């Protein structure tokens, strides 16, 4: 592991994230090596981000005139996670632009009183686009306020 990876891993604990969402693994999440398949981490991040947005903004993703589409994502893995395991996803807004928001994400084993080191670190960029034209549009005000509340 490079020095850069160690620095990233040691940096956040769950208490460093403004928003925290509970998550659980499922039977089908393990791969043939006995740990979570890499794609599952992305599903957990996606569900946490969108669940938070929907619950706290009232946004209906099916009918909203502006929608957030993923323009970039990434994940660095530090600890093995597996089924069955209770997890916590930490979310904070790393950058808030006119039409895009960049999330800093952490995946942690649940129940460690905010002291757990990050098991996986994610980066996710949503660009807001018009539902019909798919052209970038300013982030809707209700979402901008929500994102501002989670700026870390």
Residue 115: pLDDT band with limits 50, 70, 90: low
Which residues, 6 or more positions from 15, have their beta carbon under 8 angstroms from its beta carbon?
Answer: 114, 115
pLDDT (tens digit per residue) in 3-31: 444 344 456 888 889 999 999 999 999 99
**What gap in Å lies between CA 99 and CA 67, rounded to an integer?**
11
DSSP tag of 136: B
Report strand pairing: 86-96 vs 66-77.
Answer: unpaired
* 144 pLDDT more than 90: yes
Report percent pLDDT > 90 for the chain.
76
Global pTM? 0.88
Rounded distance, CA 43 to CA 75, Å? Answer: 12
Interaxial angle between packed helices 38-57 and 141-149, expressed in degrees from 0 to 180 and rounded to the nearest 10 = 110
Report d(CA 62, CA 88) in Å as an integer. 26
Decide if 26 contacts 86 (C-beta within 8 A). Answer: no
Q: Which domains does the chain have, with CATH numbers?
A: 3-149 (3.10.129.10)
CB 48 within 8 A of CB 90: no
């Amino acid at each position: 592991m490079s020095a850069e990876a160690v620095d990233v891993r040691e940096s956040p604990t769950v208490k460093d994230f403004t928003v925290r969402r509970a998550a659980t693994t499922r039977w089908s999440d393990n791969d043939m090596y006995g740990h979570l398949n890499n794609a599952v981490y992305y599903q957990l991040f996606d569900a946490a981000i969108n669940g938070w947005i929907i619950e706290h903004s009232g946004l209906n993703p099916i009918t909203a005139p502006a929608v957030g589409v993923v323009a970039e994502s990434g994940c660095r893995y530090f600890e093995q996670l597996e089924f069955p395991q209770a997890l916590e996803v930490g979310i904070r807004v790393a950058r808030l632009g006119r039409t895009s928001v960049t999330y800093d994400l952490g995946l942690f084993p649940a129940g460690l009183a905010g002291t757990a080191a990050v098991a996986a670190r994610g980066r996710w960029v949503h660009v807001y686009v018009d539902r019909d034209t798919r052209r970038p549009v300013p982030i809707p005000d209700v979402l901008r306020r929500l994102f501002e509340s989670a700026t870390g």
